[in-house]
Structure 1
Amino acid sequence: SKAQELLEKRIRDGDTLSQFLKGKMYFEEEWYEEALVQFEKIKTTDFQAMYQLGVMYYDGLGTPEDPEKGVEYMKKIINSNSPKARHLKFVAAYNLGRAYFEGCGTIFSEKEAERLWLFAADHGNPKASVKAQTALGLLYSTSDQKNLKKAFFWHSEACGNGSLESQGALGVMYMYGHGIRQNTKAALECLKEAAERGSIYAQGHLVEYYYKRKFFTKAAEFAKRIAENDNIDMLAKITDCLPVYIARGLAMATFYLARCLQLGLGIQQDQAAAKKYYSRVSLERPCK
């Protein structure tokens, strides 16, 4: 309340930045309807407010989803020649690429998504969109344009710039020799560090590694801790990782926990508990 009072005083004194900061405060407190009203007031003069509105309309925060409107705002930022829009172009291009890749708010176009993400990634520039760098790694790993060497390059760039998602992906690529020569030591370094930082995807692959090498006690203990955290949406928000990859890591850990319980490997045999965990795996996305 004190922050709000101070911002309102500054707004009355003509401080234009405080107008945006007030909306940003509402947004961070998840008072989305209030944030939307505040950003709407200044969208014609503040590109940052325009960007926030684009995100809110696209994702339906404080307003019914309107992805077409979200796309419209992102395009305005990218196409603007104003110096005030320059620092937002990378992140706007990432979001617009996401819209094309999802076919939400615009036509589906993997090629256009790739073009926009390449622009947003800016050759691995750490000041560019790290999310776009990770997105390119995922794109080249799984899409029709599959190119594992390119995928490894972009995950390496994103990992070097702090991406947790790409660090887990690199660990898997090193483990199985995808896009790079197989290197178990490098794989474990990536997976363990990513796991410590909260990557469920990396944690699931570590459980599989321990199980397959017959470290059953370690596999069961680790898998049990992971399987208890089954709120995928919450985990996605905390770690800023894609829900689909969190679901895969969770499914892997849950499956191997059920296997250990069924066979009594590294943990006391419990058929009822094994059946419960097997049923949970079937409800999640399949792991690869």
Structure 2
Amino acid sequence: METHAETLYRQACGLLEQNPPDTAAAVPLLYEAAEAGHPEAAFQLAACLSEEEQPDIRAVRRWLQRAADGGHGYAAYNLLQICEAEGESFVSQIDGYTRLAENGILPAQLRLFEYYATAQDPRAVHWAAEAAKQEHPLAQYYLAQHEQNAAEPDYGIMLALYLKAAAQGLPLAHWQLGRLYLYGQGVAQNTASAVEHLTVAAEAGIVPAQTELAALFQEQENPAAVRWYRAAAEHDDNARAALAHLYLTGTLTERNPNKARRHARAAAENHHPEGLRLMGDIYRYGLGVKADEEAARAYYREAAELGNIAAYQKLISGAVLNQEQQEYDQTKTAALLRQQTERAFQAAEAAAKGIGRAQDFALARKLYLEAAEFQHRQAMSALGNIYYRGQGVETDYGQAAYWFELAAEQGDPAAQYSLACQYYFGQGLPRSTAQACRLLEAALDNGYPDQATARRLLAEWRAEAET
């Protein structure tokens, strides 16, 4: 038989489900039911009070506590959230989150897995698996990433998890699926499937997906490439440089040296090799500006020092024209070395990711080291990951920080994000929330793919730093 409190609660729910909800009439009923010991009524009452124009936080906490005392898990979770908002650290409340997570409260499981994942703590896998049992897409995505980066990945499990997360609308999962199909990693290479998934991710604002999709369309001579390069150009120097090239050559769009110069300069100001090389071309050939051979050579030299092969070729041709034998010999030697460096990096990528061959982290590390010795930014970032994750080696946070720092100094957003986490948790580095925030801001500015997670962490870390 239904209790009086249950009857009151049911009537209140009916009023709240109206369109618009009749909160004023529902609240007195919730009060009465909550006073009679109905936990769900106390929880709903706290929710109604929190939505008032000037909520009485004490009253909200009181009713949440009443609900939590009655065994309401989500009320207990909300109390922990309020404590965090008022300045209590997550770590000081971790036991409370763990108890709730063990009782199946999904937000608590997610909070734990995100915390442990940021700290590269193995407990992240446990809580991600628990949340994945409740079909949460972010947990499925994390488990897929974990499988993908494992020493012996199970591509079947990885693909199934990405597909589940993508089916629930997670753009990051679509981005990873697009890359898998683009490069044939663990699946048959399929350009149409790559375009399908990358498009979903690109439309959701994932910058690397926009750039990769644009490059794919450019190969297909599809004018849609311009749209996606434009979308990514706000955050991505690769996109800025590619767009500058299209405007310079009139490929897939109108020829416009002024627009080309604007995009190339924006990339060059961030020391982007191709942006610098294009600025060299603009001044060498007087494209929308007065020709200036010295300015062109300065841009080419900086681009070449950062590994741009085309810039080396420009310097070589200039040395031939000016009959500068010594400069010709030195530049040609440096260009050949850079070509070897890039080949080493591409071979390392194939070995690390199992692209067109069996995955081999030992070989990947050897090849990444070869490329990193010559300041290859992505190789240095990849080495950081190898030591951070213990891929084919023992986990070594000191070595990870060393390589991440070198790549971060060159503007690599993934390295900046990882180094930020190491500073925050004091992994191989002195703990520094201020340094962590600075690096996280840089990663966001440079187009770190998972913007939502990075922004959430930045807000949490800033709030912690201010308390």
Q: Aligned residues, how many?
A: 223
Q: Which residue, 187, 210, 226 being the options, matches 1:114?
A: 226
Q: Which amino acid aligns with 1:140?
A: Y
Q: Which amino acid aligns with 1:12?
A: A
C-alpha displacement at 1:18, in angstroms?
5.5
**SS class of match (1:58):** helix
Structure 2 CA distance for partners of 1:118 and 1:180, relative to 1, 3 Å? same
In the alignment, the residues of structure 1 paired with residue 260 and residue 146 of structure 2 have an alpha-carbon distance, to the nearest angstrom, of: 37
Question: Which residue does the alignment assign to 1:57?
Answer: 181
**SS class of match (1:43):** helix
Q: Deviations over 1:68-111 (max 9, x none)?
A: 111111333345xxxxx44x1x44333333333222xxxx422x
**Based on CA coordinates, which of the two structures has the bigger radius of gyration?**
2
Q: Do residues 216 (structure 1) and 325 (structure 2) align? A: yes
Is 1:151–1:179's contact at 8 Å kept on the other side of the alignment?
no
**SS class of match (1:198):** coil
C-alpha displacement at 1:132, in angstroms?
2.0
**SS class of match (2:131):** coil
Is 1:7–1:22's contact at 8 Å kept on the other side of the alignment?
no
Q: Deviations over 1:101-128 (max 9, x none)?
A: 222xxxx422x2222322332xxx3xx2
C-alpha RMSD over aligned residues = 3.3
Q: Which residue, 149, 152, 155 being the options, matches 2:258?
A: 149
Is 2:148–2:158's contact at 8 Å kept on the other side of the alignment?
yes
Q: How does 1:28-47 map to 2 (within 5 A)?
A: 33=155, 35-45=158-168, 46-47=170-171
In the alignment, the residues of structure 1 paired with residue 186 and residue 302 of structure 2 have an alpha-carbon distance, to the nearest angstrom, of: 36
Structure 2 CA distance for partners of 1:211 and 1:116, relative to 1, 3 Å? same
Greater CA drift, 133-142 or 13-22? 13-22
Q: Do residues 170 (structure 1) and 275 (structure 2) align? A: no
Q: Which amino acid aligns with 1:49?
A: A
Which consecutive unaligned segments of at least 5 residues does structure 1 have? 80-84, 242-288
Give the percent of matched residue pairs that are identical in Structure 1 and Structure 2.
22
Question: Which residue does the alignment assign to 1:75?
Answer: 199
**SS class of match (2:167):** coil
Is 2:172–2:201's contact at 8 Å kept on the other side of the alignment?
no
Q: Which residue, 130, 139, 145 being the options, matches 1:24?
A: 145
Is 1:118–1:132's contact at 8 Å kept on the other side of the alignment?
yes
- Higher RCO (C-alpha 8 Å, min separation 6): 1
Structure 2 CA distance for partners of 1:223 and 1:26, relative to 1, 3 Å? farther
Is 2:181–2:188's contact at 8 Å kept on the other side of the alignment?
yes
Question: Which residue does the alignment assign to 2:215?
Answer: 98
Is 2:241–2:278's contact at 8 Å kept on the other side of the alignment?
no
Q: Which residue, 219, 239, 249 being the options, matches 1:132?
A: 239
Q: Deviations over 1:3-42 (max 9, x none)?
A: 6844422323438656434433555679593654542342
C-alpha displacement at 1:51, in angstroms?
0.8
C-alpha displacement at 1:188, in angstroms?
2.4
Name the TM-score, length of structure 1 as normaliser.
Answer: 0.64
Q: Which amino acid aligns with 2:128?
A: I
**SS class of match (1:97):** helix
Structure 2 CA distance for partners of 1:92 and 1:221, relative to 1, 3 Å? closer
Structure 2 CA distance for partners of 1:233 and 1:138, relative to 1, 3 Å? farther
C-alpha displacement at 1:219, in angstroms?
1.4
Structure 2 CA distance for partners of 1:164 and 1:27, relative to 1, 3 Å? farther
In the alignment, the residues of structure 2 paired with residue 151 and residue 29 of structure 1 have an alpha-carbon distance, to the nearest angstrom, of: 42
C-alpha displacement at 1:215, in angstroms?
2.1
Greater CA drift, 155-164 or 24-33? 24-33
Q: Deviations over 1:124-153 (max 9, x none)?
A: x3xx23322111111122326333332222
Q: Do residues 66 (structure 1) and 175 (structure 2) align? A: no
Q: Which amino acid aligns with 1:20?
A: Y
Name the TM-score, length of structure 2 as normaliser.
Answer: 0.42
In the alignment, the residues of structure 1 paired with residue 146 and residue 320 of structure 2 have an alpha-carbon distance, to the nearest angstrom, of: 46
Q: Do residues 197 (structure 1) and 318 (structure 2) align? A: no
Structure 2 CA distance for partners of 1:196 and 1:28, relative to 1, 3 Å? farther
In the alignment, the residues of structure 1 paired with residue 139 and residue 322 of structure 2 have an alpha-carbon distance, to the nearest angstrom, of: 58
Q: Do residues 10 (structure 1) and 137 (structure 2) align? A: no
In the alignment, the residues of structure 2 paired with residue 29 and residue 173 of structure 1 have an alpha-carbon distance, to the nearest angstrom, of: 46
In the alignment, the residues of structure 2 paired with residue 52 and residue 225 of structure 1 have an alpha-carbon distance, to the nearest angstrom, of: 35
